Amino acid sequence: MSKIQRTAVLIILILASAAIIYPIFYAFASAMMTSAEIDSYPPHIFPSGFNLDNYKSVFAVVPVAQFLLNSFVVAIAITVGHLITASFAAYAFAFIRFPLKSFFFALFLATIMIPWEVTMIPNFLTIRSWGWTDSYWGLILPFLATGFGTFLFRQFFMQLPKDIFEAAKMDGMGHFGIFLRIALPLTRSASVTLAVYSFIGAWNMYLWPLLITNEESMRTVQIGVTMLQFEDFTSWNLVLAGLALMMLPPLLLLVLGLKQLVGNLTMGALKG
Amino acid sequence: MTSRLRKFKEAAFGYGFLLPSLAGFSVFLFYPFLKSFYLSLHSMNPRGQIVEFVGFDNFIDILTSDHFYQSLKTTFFFALLTIPACIFIAVCLALLTYKKNKINLIFQLIFASTIAVPIGNASVIWKLLFHPTAGMFNYFLSLFGISPVGWLTNPAYALLSVSMMTVWISIGFTYLLLLSGIKGIPEDLYESAKIDGAGSFSIVRRITLPLLSPVLFFISVISVISALQSFSQINILTEGGPVNSTNVVVYDLYQEAFVNYRFGTGSAQAIILFLIILLFTIIQFRLSERKVHYS
């Protein structure tokens, strides 16, 4: 590429970055503005100072701490659940011989094809009949199994050198031992990829918590977000301070886990 | 140990390892999936109890109502407004930033960032940006002397506005998948193409895009599926309005089942949605057979 081309590309990329980052920047910048700043016209793009008062106030207006706690409990439980169910199932598909294996593999593939809206009404009725609305159980249990995660782990397991397993078997190790002491430690990047992916997904859940939580004390951040918006007494800087707090955990996770996601994400998706 | 006993033990381990996943899928996916078919053939009371068997009446009601075709049309329109734009932008950004260097690392983080923005948060932020008098978008337009736009209040613009927000939030995931895919292409292919004197554009056209076709195919399949399932942003930004202009299928289904408490017709609508998604997926697989190169 010539110098002119390279500069043109750079300018395009900078403009695209500005456009993509702007809504996120807007939330964090407005969260630091005073009420006078946010109501002024023409509007301010940057806050006048590093002002964290809104964060303090938002905790007083809505139970943000409770929402955050609920979301952390739910997202961590689902993430751990995914790691356990997916790694076990993937190990079975990769290393264990059992009858009807291809049938079960097809069954796991089929799970990806069923849109969850189709299961939503019966699941709602089930959870309600068990009295699990407004409970962590109701928010967590329906989401513990994952087809995507299973394929991701299987792909990583298949790439491990076969002789390690032969040697372990010679030493008298059983499947449990091989799974815990060899397969899992050698595929840590699969665990990290799935953990980042599952945590972000669980943190982002919207429709299901909307259906099965009514009490304020059980709401997750995504539902709490809309509460913030409908409280008339809150001004925008408070709303956006709440939003900023709520999207910080997944954003931080992305910054830490980006390297793992790049390169590994397509594995579960494509080569399963 | 006899070999039969060993085989039996091996199989027991296999099923034991599958059990946690199978239990989860059975209770919360396979059972409710079949139950949906069953419920769709019944009328139900608002408490979710079955009143009577009605055969295909629920389906006939839906398929003979203009309302349903309107929401289907809105959904397809929404898919057309979002998917091509999102894939095109993500492909361009990925091709321009996949090479390893410090500045690209920053670009990669920015372009992938929307994957980590929860859709509920994003919808509320965009709702404020779209605000007719105090929103930033109308302020930016005013800098160019353009009069304010009723982003979410004008039926002519509402679907377009929701689509803009959807493209924005979908770019992160699409971009990350593409970036992953490009990293999977062996370096030496580029080297040999360069030695043959191929320019940047012809390398992209002749090597990168064909080798990316499995990723692109996967992206197009899941993009269609997720566009047909969109709900959150509609619920927060427009609630299906104004004048039904953003009333997509899943929003309609949510209204039917969880606002009007008609679980029977809701289930029938869910089954129809499933069949539509299945149809599109099959069509895409058929079309791809000729065009996707697997290495």
Alpha helices in B144-208 (DSSP H): 158-183, 187-195, 200-203
SS (H, E, C) B200-258: HHHHHHHHHHHHHHHHHHHHHHHHHHHHHCCCHHHHHHCCCCCCCCCCCHHHHHHHHHH
The answer as to whether A24 is a domain residue is: no
pLDDT at B17: 96
Whether A207 sits inside 8 A of B113 (CB atoms) is no
Residue A224, in any domain of the structure: yes
Percentage of the residues of chain A whose pLDDT score is greater than 90: 49
B37 within a domain of the structure (yes/no):
no
- A43 inside domain: no
Q: Which domain holds residue B101?
A: 57-185+231-270
* Cβ-contact B40, B271 below 8 angstroms: yes
Counting other chains too, the contacts that B279-283 makes at CB distance below 8 Å and 24 or more residues apart are B280/B224, B280/B225, B280/B228, B281/A113, B281/B221, B281/B224, B281/B225
Q: What is the pLDDT at residue A232?
A: 59
User: A268 pLDDT exceeds 70?
Assistant: no
Mean of the per-residue pLDDT values for chain A? 88
Residues of chain B neighbouring A125 (CB-CB closer than 8 A): 48, 263
Q: Is the pLDDT of residue A41 over 80?
A: no
**What is the CATH number for A215?**
1.10.3720.10
Does residue B36 belong to any structural domain of this protein? no
In a domain, B64, yes or no: yes
pLDDT at B222: 85
Please state, in angstroms and as integers, the Cα–Cα distance from residue B265 to each residue in A164, A170, B44, B67, B271, following that order.
Answer: 55, 60, 9, 13, 10
Q: With H, G, I as helix, E, B as strand and everything else as coil, classify residue B44.
A: strand
Closest residue by Cα to residue A47 from A58, A37, A39:
A37
pLDDT at A162 over 60: yes
Confidence (pLDDT) at A270: 57
The arithmetic mean of pLDDT across residues A95-115, rounded, is 90
d(CA B50, CA A90): 39
Retrieve residue A232's tokens. 């008339």
Domain holding A206, by residue range, is 63-233+253-270
Confirm whether A173 is domain-assigned: yes
Report if residue A135 sits inside a domain: yes
CATH code assigned at B145: 1.10.3720.10
| Neighbouring residues of A149: CB distance < 8 A, sequence distance ≥ 6 | A82, A83, A85, A86, A90, A194, A197, A198, A268
d(CA B100, CA B92): 16
Could you tell me if residue B108 is inside a domain? yes
Q: Is residue B241 part of a domain?
A: yes
- Quick: pLDDT tens for A218-267: 999 888 877 776 665 567 888 889 889 989 999 999 998 888 888 677 76
Q: How many domains does chain A have?
A: 1
Closest partner residue to A258 among B15, B32, B109, by Cβ? B109
Q: Which of B116, B102, B181, B120 is nearest to A256 (CA)?
A: B116
pLDDT for res A234: 63
| Residues constituting chain A | 272
Cross-chain Cβ contact B120/A13 below 8 Å: no
Question: What is the token pair recorded at B141?
Answer: 């337009």
Query: How much is the pLDDT for A272?
Result: 40
Number of domains in chain B: 1
Helix (H, G, I), strand (E, B) or coil at B51: strand
Q: How far B232 CA sits from the closest chain A CA (Å)?
A: 7
Residue range A185-206: mean pLDDT, rounded? 90
In a domain, A20, yes or no: no
For chain B, list residues with pLDDT below 70.
1, 290-295
**Within-domain flag for B243:** yes
Chain B contact set for A253 (CB, 8 A): 116
CB-based contact A247 B121, cutoff 8 Å: yes
Given this model, what pLDDT does residue A1 score? Answer: 67
In a domain, B32, yes or no: no
Chain A residues within an 8 Å CB radius of B24: 81, 85, 141, 144-145
CA distance A12 to A6: 10
Statement: residue A269 has pLDDT above 60 = no
Backbone torsions φ then ψ of B44, nearest 5 degrees: -130, 150
Of B21, B263, B271, the CB nearest to A145: B21
